[in-house]
């Protein structure tokens, strides 16, 4: 389906901004700065209004004024206390609200972090397997985990047995980082490819519209 | 230091980076002019996600968390499209959230478009709840009841009046959560969704993050993983679709070849330089 | 008063939420639900603080540096355009609106392109920084090479071998190394959180005035 002139105009603006951002690869320049600052303003404005509709209206206006849940004034007052952070004299008032937020978030975090990052990970490490190659992999994985943890143990010097374990650990970590880099390349290129395809499709559409 | 008098390996190693940028631009443009097919193998972690959804009966509920923003759109949008097509084709019901602050508009566009292709209606076949800040707290709150963080959906409709949400209250009513995340929201689904409520979680993540989630896959804290654009291409192949990820694979091949050649050439120069300097000493 | 009471609040709320995890009683679940709900509301009201700070910083920068004035106007104009456009909720949900077009044709191109430049940087880094200086660097380089080779369509049986090796690398040594990091970081985060609850760590409160 042929694009309308208004769509082509918007897409033209998008292509201009795309090329303006890419121009940074040669050197910093006013076109790049313009695109970057416009993005900052537009993104902040978008998020502000999204927060207003899906946050403030849905979670403050609606419960208090439409559903009569007046106890929501408690977190509203606490949230407004956070704004005192801007005042040099009364900034300490924001700590009351921050205390609730930090206390509740941290209290929820601790037991779940124990379960997720420690217990289930250790359980996964020592879960029994059967078969020759699964057993070899199981032993290599245990070795890798223990030696990796030994590398991060800085309370004693890395000498003797701890030194050997730590050295094995860092090599294991390097394999992990290498694997990470290999997958990262794919991700970064995908972003570039998407912009190239978008730009190509725009010029093809424009050519088709004009001729 | 100018080029004259420099050994070949010194000149090789000191190339202006803008030549490399230019080469990168060229290799990315080549497949745009002359595309070619790239075979894509299927990995176990991608098949696990596909097969889990494939085995769900019609009417079952899937929570699709579109937790990414435009910076990771290229990798995660194809995953979202493929999963949406599969879910709608199987007449599954969907609860969709978008916990990244710049993601809701993208999520709305893709869900509306794919739903229309399958004749699915918002409110009847799927609910798009939208965005709330603080993903960790929102994930925890949804586990109690979706209505706690989301009294209304993205369009302002009270959730209690949405037909599809009538018997969906929390994670106990959904078969699984599939989070497509470009940031640490993926960790939050594991820690606050799976660990607290036991809901099966699968992740679709960017290439940068993918290698970090294999421990969770091995410990069965997630039941499947779509690693980056290759994971998306594999999923599209499982669905017999040629989507954006599959069409992007030729570009991946040329770019990867450039980087592999660059790594080899640079190290040949480096080794030659090191030997020459060792010889001089 | 200025520090002691907030520390006490953190201690009490933190301890209650930790204990709540282990208590399956209905009262405990009620407390959990409303604690979450209240934190969301506190956060919603606190977030505009960041937006205000950003806009204030932009204006201050414009006042100080004449070269920044044009760009500050661009930022503020973009912000105001979206705020005015987004007053009605329908602007978010109806296709083809001004807000949707600004999102699709300004935000997405800018944000996606800024991050896509990383592809060029990674190519440059692969050429200029990835050197086999030490055995450690060699291991990293070789692993990255093998994983990247998976994308390239090799002739059989090389393709099959490479895929199998990559799967093994991801499932065993990579998994082990990332697990060590997860456990290490997890222990660190838990101990830091405990220090916050016990009032030992007070950085989140900001300095005294």
Instruction: Collect all residues of chain A within an 8 Å Cβ-Cβ radius of residue B71.
Output: 191
Dihedral over Cα of B254, B260, B264, B270: its sign: positive
Determine which of C127, C140, C142 to mutate to test the interface with B (most B C-beta atoms within 10 Å).
C127
pLDDT at B74 over 50: yes
Task: Report the distance separating Cα C120 and Cα C122, nearest Å.
Answer: 5
pTM for the structure as a whole = 0.92
Q: Is the minimum CB–CB distance between C81 and chain A shorter than 8 Å?
A: yes
pLDDT band per the 50, 70, 90 thresholds, residue C33: confident
pLDDT given for residue B212 in this prediction: 96
Least reliable range by pLDDT among A160-164, B7-11, B82-86, B132-136: B7-11
Section B49-77 average pLDDT? 96
Instruction: Tell me the C-alpha to C-alpha distance, in Å, between residue B28 and each of B257, C63, C136.
Output: 11, 43, 31
Task: Please tell me which residue, B7 or A141, carries the higher pLDDT value.
Answer: A141
Nearest to C9 by CA among C191, C205, C209: C205
pLDDT at C208 over 70: no
Chain B neighbors (3+ CB pairs < 8 Å): A, C
Task: Report the distance separating Cα C183 and Cα A39, nearest Å.
Answer: 38
Section B236-253 average pLDDT? 92
pLDDT band per the 50, 70, 90 thresholds, residue B11: confident
Task: Please tell me which residue, B208 or B10, carries the higher pLDDT value.
Answer: B208
Pairwise CB contact (< 8 Å): B218 & A124:
yes
pLDDT at B281 over 90: no
Section B157-177 average pLDDT? 96
φ, ψ at B271 (rounded to 5°): -65, -40
pLDDT at B92 over 90: yes
pLDDT given for residue C95 in this prediction: 84
- What distance in Å separates residue B70's CA from the closest CA in chain C? 5
Query: Which of C12, C119, C170 shows the shortest C-beta gap to A189?
Result: C119
Dihedral over Cα of A14, A15, A16, A22: its sign: positive
Section B232-250 average pLDDT? 92
Section B169-177 average pLDDT? 97
Pairwise CB contact (< 8 Å): A125 & C177:
no
Residue reference for tokens 């880099």: A181
Section C83-105 average pLDDT? 91
pLDDT given for residue C209 in this prediction: 43
Query: Which of A41, A143, A184 shows the shortest C-beta gap to C74?
Result: A41
Q: Are B178 and B64 in contact (CB under 8 A)?
A: yes
Stretches where chain A sits below pLDDT 50 are none
B to C CB pairs, distance under 8 Å: 155
Task: Report the distance separating Cα B245 and Cα B250, nearest Å.
Answer: 10
In DSSP terms, which residues pair with B127 in a beta bridge?
Answer: B95
Instruction: Tell me the C-alpha to C-alpha distance, in Å, between residue B194 and each of A115, B55, C109.
Output: 10, 20, 35
């Amino acid at each position: 389906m042929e694009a309308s002139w208004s769509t082509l105009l918007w897409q033209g603006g998008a292509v201009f901004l795309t090329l303006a951002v890419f121009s940074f690869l040669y050197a910093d320049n006013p076109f790049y700065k313009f695109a970057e600052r416009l993005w900052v303003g537009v993104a902040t404005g978008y998020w502000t209004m999204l927060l207003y509709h899906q946050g403030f209206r849905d979670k403050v206006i609606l419960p208090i004024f439409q559903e009569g849940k007046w106890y929501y004034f408690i977190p509203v007052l606490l949230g407004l206390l956070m704004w005192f952070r801007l005042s040099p004299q009364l900034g300490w008032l924001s700590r009351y609200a921050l205390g609730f937020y930090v206390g509740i978030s941290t209290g929820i975090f601790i037991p779940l972090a124990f379960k997720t990052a420690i217990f289930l990970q250790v359980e996964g490490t020592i879960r029994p397997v059967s078969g020759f190659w699964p057993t070899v992999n199981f032993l290599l994985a245990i070795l890798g985990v223990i030696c990796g943890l030994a590398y991060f143990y800085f309370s004693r010097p890395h000498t003797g047995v701890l030194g050997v374990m730590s050295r094995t650990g860092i090599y294991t970590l390097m394999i992990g980082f290498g694997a990470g880099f290999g997958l990262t390349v794919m991700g970064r290129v995908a972003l570039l490819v998407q912009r190239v395809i978008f730009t190509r499709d725009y010029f093809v559409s424009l050519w088709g519209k004009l001729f | 230091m100018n080029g004259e008098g420099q050994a070949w390996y010194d000149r090789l190693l000191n190339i202006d980076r803008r030549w490399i940028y230019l080469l990168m631009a060229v290799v990315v443009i080549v497949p745009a002019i002359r595309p070619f097919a790239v075979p894509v193998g299927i990995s176990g972690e991608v098949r696990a996600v596909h097969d889990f959804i494939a085995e769900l009966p019609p009417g079952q509920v899937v929570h699709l968390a579109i937790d990414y923003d435009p910076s990771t759109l290229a990798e995660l949008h194809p995953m979202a499209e493929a999963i949406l097509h599969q879910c709608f084709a199987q007449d599954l019901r969907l609860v969709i959230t978008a916990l990244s602050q710049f993601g809701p508009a993208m999520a709305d566009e893709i869900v509306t478009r794919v739903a229309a292709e399958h004749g699915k209606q918002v409110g009847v076949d799927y609910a798009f709840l939208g965005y709330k800040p603080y993903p960790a707290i929102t994930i925890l709150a949804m586990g109690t009841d979706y209505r706690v963080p989301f009294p209304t959906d993205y369009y302002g409709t009270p959730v209690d009046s949405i037909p599809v949400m009538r018997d969906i209250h929390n994670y106990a009513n959904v078969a699984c959560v599939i989070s497509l995340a470009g940031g640490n929201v993926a960790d939050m689904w594991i820690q606050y969704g799976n660990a607290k409520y036991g809901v099966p979680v699968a992740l679709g993540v960017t290439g940068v993050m993918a290698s970090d989630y294999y421990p969770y896959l091995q410990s069965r804290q997630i039941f499947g993983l779509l690693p980056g654009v290759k994971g998306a291409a594999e999923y599209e192949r499982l669905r017999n679709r040629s989507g954006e990820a599959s069409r992007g694979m030729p570009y991946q091949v040329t770019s990867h070849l450039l980087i592999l050649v660059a790594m080899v050439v640079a190290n040949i120069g480096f080794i030659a330089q090191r030997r020459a300097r060792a010889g001089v000493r | 008063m200025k520090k002691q009471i907030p520390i006490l609040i953190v201690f009490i709320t933190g301890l209650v939420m930790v204990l709540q995890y282990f208590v399956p009683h209905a009262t405990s679940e009620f407390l959990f639900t409303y604690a979450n709900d209240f934190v969301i509301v506190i956060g919603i009201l606190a977030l505009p603080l960041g937006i205000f700070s950003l806009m204030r910083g932009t204006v201050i920068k414009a006042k100080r540096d004449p070269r920044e004035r044009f760009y500050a106007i661009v930022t503020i104009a973009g912000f105001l355009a979206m705020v005015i456009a987004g007053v009605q909720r329908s602007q978010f949900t109806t296709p083809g609106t001004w807000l949707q077009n600004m999102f699709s044709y300004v935000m997405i191109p800018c944000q996606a392109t800024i991050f896509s430049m990383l592809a060029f940087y990674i190519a440059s880094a692969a050429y200029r920084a990835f050197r086999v200086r030490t055995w450690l660097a060699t291991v990293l380089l070789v692993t990255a090479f093998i994983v990247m080779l998976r994308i390239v369509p090799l002739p059989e049986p090389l393709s099959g071998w490479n895929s199998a090796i990559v799967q093994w690398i991801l499932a065993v040594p990579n998994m082990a190394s990332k697990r060590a990091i997860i456990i290490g970081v997890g222990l660190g985060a838990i101990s830091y959180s405990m220090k916050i609850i016990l009032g030992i760590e007070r950085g989140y409160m900001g300095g005294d005035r």
